[in-house]
Amino acid sequence: MAVGGRIAQTAQHLESMRGKGGRIAMQVGILIFDEVELLDMAGPYEVFTTASRVHARTQPVGTAPLFNVTTLAHDSRAVRARAGLRLQPDATLHDHPPLDCAIVPGGVVDAELGRAELMAWIAAQARTTRIVASVCTGALLLAHAGVLDGLEATTHWEDVAALQALRPGLRVREGLRWVDAGAIVTSAGISAGIDMSLHLVERLHSRELALRTARQLEFDWTEAA
């Protein structure tokens, strides 16, 4: 069986276990790469890990975490974020667990747009995950991979024209913190990824947990897109 088929089969098995009450953490994968915008990836990372801590307070000791968050890169080498911070990935595009939610941050994405392997990975995640989300110029990567065709999307205000030029038929929305198109969710720039991630917590678990997570973060959540 091909790798894509095995991933899809495993994802279906995990979803079946959750439907039967199995205590299996939802897997969130966050892409990292050289010149990634730090808050694009760190904001969602903090939201999902905080949501797990907040959720655990109401669960029996030993319960599996609600979310397991993994950083993913092309290979196992450390990457350097746009501001210079070195980030060591937890896994690669080839050996990560099947994901429930894949998050593609932005930054300087010119080199990433030219990586056929990454485009194939994004397209594969759109077929197998519950949600693929982007922050900022991560939307350009989703667009280039073909997963935004026919949808509405948003990105950083400075990059709206670039996104529209990349996919002229795409309905680009300006002035919104995020756009939820079902299986694909895109956010505006940088800090908007936190708003979007709280929205994803609401979708994947509950509004109550999203609100408690925002309070724990002391973050003034823009609850409407």
The residues carrying an active-site annotation are 136
Residue among 9, 17, 46 at smallest CA distance from 30? 46
Grouping H, G, I as helix, E, B as strand and the rest as coil, residue 173 is coil
70/139 Cα distance (integer angstroms): 20
E-only strand ranges, the chain: 26-31, 67-73, 79-80, 86-87, 91-92, 101-104, 131-135, 152-153, 171-172, 178-180, 184-187
Residue among 114, 121, 53, 111 at smallest CA distance from 91? 121
Residue among 72, 66, 59 at smallest CA distance from 30? 72
